[in-house]
Amino acid sequence: MNNNEIGVFDSGIGGITILKELTKLLPNENFIYYADSKNNPYGNKTLDELFSIVCNIVDILLNRKVKLIVIACNTATTKCINMLREKYKDVIFVGTEPAIKVACDNNYKNTIVMATPGTINTERVHQLVDNNIKENQHIYLLPCEGLADTIEFKTDEDIELKVNELLKQYKNKNIDSIVLGCTHYPYAKKYISNIFPKATLIDGNQGVSKQVKRILEKNNLLNTTNKKGKTQIIFNK
Ligand code: DGL
């Protein structure tokens, strides 16, 4: 048993979509969420820039003695998780990746993967496609330049415009599923569904929470008190 906090971070409000699932699944745990709005968007940073930003956050969380760190960001995960595991050998990291496997396993035929340019350009995303795609499936990888920062900083109207601009090219492609490969994108669900009302929107948030629970159980790190846990949010503006 371990009552220390679980650290969670993202470039702002995106990872809160994961934090919600985590607090539902693990109500007794204490969470510290670091919203790094100041450095948003992560999707346009070079690897060196992003790694240094992320190490800084990991150090802040480790100073609070967190027992596990959730990278509630697809960009930071796909670009940096291997380097983080290399640098912080004793720390347990749980990452977030575009749920491409879920789309393929559920036999959707035409899937758009929406993610930041940083995520789309990683080898990991191409691996996820190659390892899971079946013969009769099409996957369109869409780098959504500017969408995460529009969601972080701008109005609903701006978000709707941006979503329309990015997705209009797929209107005649019989899209039946859309992978939300950035934790900011669930905030734009209604605009995405307006364009593709029949498509299923897939995010990996529940999968991440279940993975956190499994790892805590396996390592005997669950908070076993009966009290409801606390969540604190640090905003880096
Ligand atoms: N929410 C993040 C992700 O899942 C990062 C968005 C950004 O800052 O570009 O990719």
Q: Which pLDDT score is estimated for 120? A: 98
Rounded average pLDDT over 12-28: 97
Q: Is residue 34 helix, strand or coil? A: strand
Residue 137: DSSP 8-state? -
Decide the pairing of beta strands 68-71 and 6-10: parallel
Q: Which pLDDT score is estimated for 81? A: 98
Residue 70: DSSP 8-state? E
Q: How confident is the model at residue 226 (pLDDT cuts 50, 70, 90)?
A: confident
| Two structure tokens written together for 25 | 């699944």
Q: Is 40 in the pocket of ligand 1 (CB under 6 A)?
A: yes
Q: Which pLDDT score is estimated for 151? A: 98
Q: Is 74 in the pocket of ligand 1 (CB under 6 A)?
A: yes
* Contact yes or no for 34/61 (Cβ under 8 A): yes
Q: Which pLDDT score is estimated for 1? A: 83
The backbone torsions φ and ψ at residue 98, rounded to the nearest 5 degrees and listed phi first, read: -55, 135
Rounded to the nearest angstrom, the distance between the alpha carbon of 1 and the centre of ligand 1 is: 32
pLDDT-above-90 percentage for the chain: 97
pLDDT-above-70 percentage for the chain: 100
Rounded to the nearest angstrom, the distance between the alpha carbon of 152 and the centre of ligand 1 is: 10
Structure confidence by residue, pLDDT tens digits, 155-173: 999 999 999 999 999 999 9
Chain center to CA of 59? 20
Rounded average pLDDT over 22-39: 98
The mean predicted confidence, pLDDT, of the chain is 97
Atom of ligand 1 nearest to the CA of 115: 10
Q: Is 183 in the pocket of ligand 1 (CB under 6 A)?
A: yes
